[in-house]
């Protein structure tokens, strides 16, 4: 398919069920891609992503998965693809990879790209095993390129997909927008305290339990510390109970889901990430973009993000090591830092994706 002297028309197919890492990255990419491409976005759920894309003036179609089964979604996608006739179809996450590439195969057969945002958080069982198999088959035979957001993830993908299809394009953040959102806005009431936080879904993979154990250990060593859990999820009640058992409910604050995450990150003295595994987490990039230090488990793309300051990486994911790293930082000048490398900018990310589109068109 030759594209000569005209803008590439791209259809993105995204779940949109949460406002989490994959959705934040997709939104940031689309915000900058609209300068180079004609976009149409298909979402499987109403929600925050739909609202934000509409505010950018990007055409959005929602095929609500709570009202349509997979066959119905497949047929509606096929009809929409025939109507829009995109030059590229770009899918995100397993279900969207499968339905998007199958719908494309049965009608228009445009070049098809997927972004792999991270490794699976759990071992697939039952019907999910079939979904994993289908996802790998369409990636091997019906899609032309696979974007990996980190070098670590690319190595894992090469076990299941041809190496020639895998392209490493790291996530990017809109640095200027983040700084504007964070500017002169302190969200915690105690200005004299040292604020440490963890941001993300309250799910097992994020290991918020380690963060709470860090709080319990630090409480015995220092006064004037506040610990913030920013995000929501199925483990919230269990984690709040853990706080009571550890007797740290006086220094730990649960904030739930927060929209202006940049302001919260800017208000922290240190961000902690204890995840068992990660791709290239947007929260980590956003933290460094606003100048807040990051102490993180040495997994996935976090190794690459903190390559210039390995002293902030934790190789043994236990509370005691985080305490050592925090104490080492607090014994220094405690100034804000800006260590975000240039290739993590949204402009760079969008330019690399556009180059990939052009190469497969």
What is the predicted pLDDT for the residue at 124?
A: 63
Same domain flag for 194 and 146: no
Same domain flag for 93 and 240: no
pLDDT in tens, 220-257: 988 999 999 999 999 999 999 999 999 999 999 999 98
Count of structural domains within the chain:
2
Same domain flag for 189 and 332: yes
- Residue 125 located in a structural domain: yes
Same domain flag for 245 and 332: yes
**pTM (2 d.p.):** 0.87
- Residue 1 located in a structural domain: no
Same domain flag for 92 and 54: yes
- Residue 3 located in a structural domain: no
Above pLDDT 90, what percent of the chain? 74
pLDDT in tens, 42-51: 999 999 999 9
| Phi/psi at 145 (5° precision) | -150, 150
- Residue 166 located in a structural domain: yes
CB 314 within 8 A of CB 295: yes
What is the predicted pLDDT for the residue at 258?
A: 85
Same domain flag for 216 and 267: yes
Q: Which tokens go with 65?
A: 């998965």
pLDDT band at 307 (very low <50, low <70, confident <90, very high): confident
pLDDT at 305 over 80: yes
Average of pLDDT values for 263-286?
Answer: 92
- Residue 262 CA to residue 182 CA, distance in Å, equals 5
Same domain flag for 185 and 221: yes
pLDDT band at 287 (very low <50, low <70, confident <90, very high): very high
What is the predicted pLDDT for the residue at 66?
A: 93
Same domain flag for 288 and 182: yes
- Residue 299 CA to residue 279 CA, distance in Å, equals 8
What is the predicted pLDDT for the residue at 336?
A: 60
Same domain flag for 210 and 258: yes
- Residue 2 located in a structural domain: no
The CB density around residue 347, as the number of other CB atoms within 10 Å, is 14
- Residue 38 located in a structural domain: yes
pLDDT band at 28 (very low <50, low <70, confident <90, very high): very high
pLDDT at 2 over 70: no
We report the CATH number of the domain holding residue 289 as 3.40.50.2000
- Residue 255 located in a structural domain: yes
Same domain flag for 42 and 79: yes
Same domain flag for 27 and 161: yes
Domain that holds residue 119: 8-172+346-360
pLDDT in tens, 54-91: 999 999 999 999 999 999 999 999 999 999 999 999 99
pLDDT band at 143 (very low <50, low <70, confident <90, very high): very high
What is the predicted pLDDT for the residue at 316?
A: 95
pLDDT at 161 over 90: yes
Sign of the dihedral through C-alpha 190, 196, 198, 204 = negative
- Residue 237 located in a structural domain: yes
pLDDT band at 351 (very low <50, low <70, confident <90, very high): very high
Same domain flag for 211 and 184: yes
- Residue 108 CA to residue 335 CA, distance in Å, equals 55
């Amino acid at each position: 398919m030759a594209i000569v002297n005209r803008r590439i028309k791209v259809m993105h197919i995204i779940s949109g069920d949460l406002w989490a890492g994959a959705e934040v990255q997709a939104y940031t990419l689309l915000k900058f891609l609209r300068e180079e491409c004609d976009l149409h976005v298909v979402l499987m759920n109403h929600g925050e992503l739909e609202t934000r894309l509409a505010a950018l003036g990007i055409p959005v179609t929602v095929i609500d998965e709570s009202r349509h089964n997979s066959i119905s979604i497949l047929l509606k996608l096929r009809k929409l693809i025939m109507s829009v006739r995109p030059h590229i179809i770009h899918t995100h996450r397993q279900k969207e990879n499968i339905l998007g590439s199958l719908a494309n195969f049965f009608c228009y057969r445009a070049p098809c790209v997927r972004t792999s945002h991270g490794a699976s958080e759990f071992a697939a069982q039952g019907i999910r095993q079939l979904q994993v198999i289908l996802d790998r088959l369409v990636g091997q035979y019906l899609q032309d390129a696979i974007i990996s957001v980190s070098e670590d993830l690319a190595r894992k993908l090469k076990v299941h997909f041809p190496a020639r299809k895998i392209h490493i394009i790291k996530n990017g953040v809109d640095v200027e927008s983040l700084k504007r959102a964070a500017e002169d806005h302190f969200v915690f009431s105690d200005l004299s305290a040292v604020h440490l936080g963890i941001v993300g879904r309250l799910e097992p993979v994020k290991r918020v339990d380690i963060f709470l154990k860090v709080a319990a250990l630090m409480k015995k060593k220092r006064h004037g510390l506040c610990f913030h859990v920013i995000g929501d999820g199925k483990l919230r009640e269990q984690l709040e109970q853990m706080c009571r058992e550890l007797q740290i409910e006086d220094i730990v604050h649960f904030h739930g889901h927060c929209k202006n995450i940049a302001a919260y990150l800017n208000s922290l003295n240190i961000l902690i990430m204890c995840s068992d595994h990660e791709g290239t987490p947007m929260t980590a990039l956003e933290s460094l973009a606003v100048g807040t230090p990051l102490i993180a488990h040495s997994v996935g793309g976090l190794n690459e993000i903190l390559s210039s300051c390995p002293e902030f990486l934790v190789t043994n994911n236990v509370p005691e090591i985080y305490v050592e790293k925090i104490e080492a930082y607090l014994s220094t000048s405690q100034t804000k830092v800006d260590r975000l490398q240039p290739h993590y900018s949204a402009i760079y990310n969008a330019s690399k994706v556009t180059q990939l589109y052009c190469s497969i068109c």
